[in-house]
């Protein structure tokens, strides 16, 4: 909630500079959201400092290159030059994803369905905020009531840890850019002759006038945050996968 408030505020240059320290220490659930505060910035000194903080961030691996390029798009050449090393690191991190999945798959034995249900509905993972199982949960993401009957344990684990690798049909993200430089990334909930309605977070919806829209394009970053393997313990991951596999 704090991340959403900050990204929706009109922060001064001094506040944006101060926020960089928090971004360096932010977790995987907040870091990409916080970067939205810099989407319209052009000052290279600020951009270079931001890139340096991201290079030192433990949550860096939860970022995707295409999303990061969107956040840094309006900065000057010095920022883009500094970011090349970060892009290379992120691409290398992406190459390690399958190895990470193999490692985690070897640790999934012993998952408990009841404990996994508690993880699903708990505040730490907050799965039920967006997903429903039976009559409980949200409707931002796909209904998972029967997910265990159509997905393997590895598929479920990949969706939890690396949610942007693939998207469920009709839940593909979009990016809406406006003429005043704002960028909205999320799920297109509806559109009318007058406006687009985009879900940008579990509890946030943006209504954007068609007259203000400059471009609508497919997105590549899931609304579901990456990095839950850092947020949850190995046992909690095993329990969560066991619960989802039991949902048939």
Decide if 108 contacts 78 (C-beta within 8 A).
no
Average pLDDT score over the chain: 89
Q: Could you give the CA distance from residue 143 to residue 10 in angstroms, rounded to a whole number?
A: 36
Q: Return the H-helix or E-strand segment holding 195.
A: strand 195-201
The pLDDT score that the predictor gives to residue 94 is 67
| Together in a domain, 91 and 131 | no
Q: Is 239 strand, coil or helix?
A: helix
Confidence of residue 20 (pLDDT cuts 50, 70, 90): very high
Residue in the structure block whose two tokens are 């942007």: 164
The pLDDT score that the predictor gives to residue 226 is 81
Token pair of 187 as six digits:
């799920």
Residue in the structure block whose two tokens are 């270079």: 48
pLDDT tens per residue across span 214-231? 989 888 788 888 888 888
Q: Quick check: 9 pLDDT over 90?
A: no
Q: CA-based angle 45:47:214, to the nearest 5?
A: 130
Starting at the edge strand that comes first in sequence, how are the strands of the sheet with 204-209 ordered? 204-209, 195-201, 183-191, 173-178, 213-218
Confidence of residue 122 (pLDDT cuts 50, 70, 90): very high
Q: What is the DSSP string of 172-194?
A: -EEEEEETTS-EEEEEEEEE-SS
pLDDT tens per residue across span 49-73? 999 999 998 888 778 888 899 899 9
CATH of the domain at 205: 2.30.30.100
| Together in a domain, 121 and 200 | no
Q: Which residue intervals of 75-193 are DSSP H helices?
A: 77-95, 97-105, 113-121, 153-161
Q: What is the mean pLDDT of residues 238-243?
A: 96
| Together in a domain, 195 and 135 | no
| Together in a domain, 69 and 7 | yes
The region of weakest confidence among 123-127, 138-142, 201-205, 210-214 is 201-205
Token pair of 179 as six digits:
């003429």
The pLDDT score that the predictor gives to residue 229 is 86
Q: How many domains does the chain have?
A: 3
Q: Could you give the CA distance from residue 86 to residue 29 in angstroms, rounded to a whole number?
A: 19
Residue-range definition of the domain harbouring residue 127: 110-163+225-246
């Amino acid at each position: 909630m704090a991340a959403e408030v900050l990204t929706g505020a009109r922060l001064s240059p001094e506040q944006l500079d101060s926020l960089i320290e928090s971004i360096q220490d932010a977790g995987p659930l907040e870091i990409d959201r916080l970067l939205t505060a810099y989407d319209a910035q052009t000052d290279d000194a600020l951009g270079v400092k931001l890139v340096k903080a991201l290079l030192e961030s433990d949550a860096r691996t939860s970022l995707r290159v295409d999303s990061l390029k969107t956040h840094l798009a309006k900065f000057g050449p010095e920022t883009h030059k500094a970011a090349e090393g970060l892009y290379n690191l992120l691409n290398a991190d992406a190459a390690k994803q399958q190895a990470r999945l193999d490692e985690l798959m070897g640790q999934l034995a012993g998952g408990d369905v009841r404990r996994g249900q508690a993880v699903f509905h708990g505040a730490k993972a907050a799965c039920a905020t967006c997903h429903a199982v039976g009559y409980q949960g949200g409707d931002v993401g796909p209904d998972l009531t029967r997910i265990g009957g159509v997905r393997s344990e590895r598929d479920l684990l990949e969706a939890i840890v690396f949610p942007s690798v693939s998207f469920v049909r009709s839940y593909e993200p979009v990016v809406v850019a406006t003429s005043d430089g704002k960028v909205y990334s999320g799920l297109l909930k509806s559109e009318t002759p007058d406006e687009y309605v985009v879900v940008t977070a579990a509890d946030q919806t943006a209504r954007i006038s068609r007259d203000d829209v400059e471009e609508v394009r497919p997105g590549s970053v899931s609304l579901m945050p990456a990095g839950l393997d850092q947020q949850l313990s190995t046992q909690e991951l095993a329990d969560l996968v066991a619960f989802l596999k039991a949902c048939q």
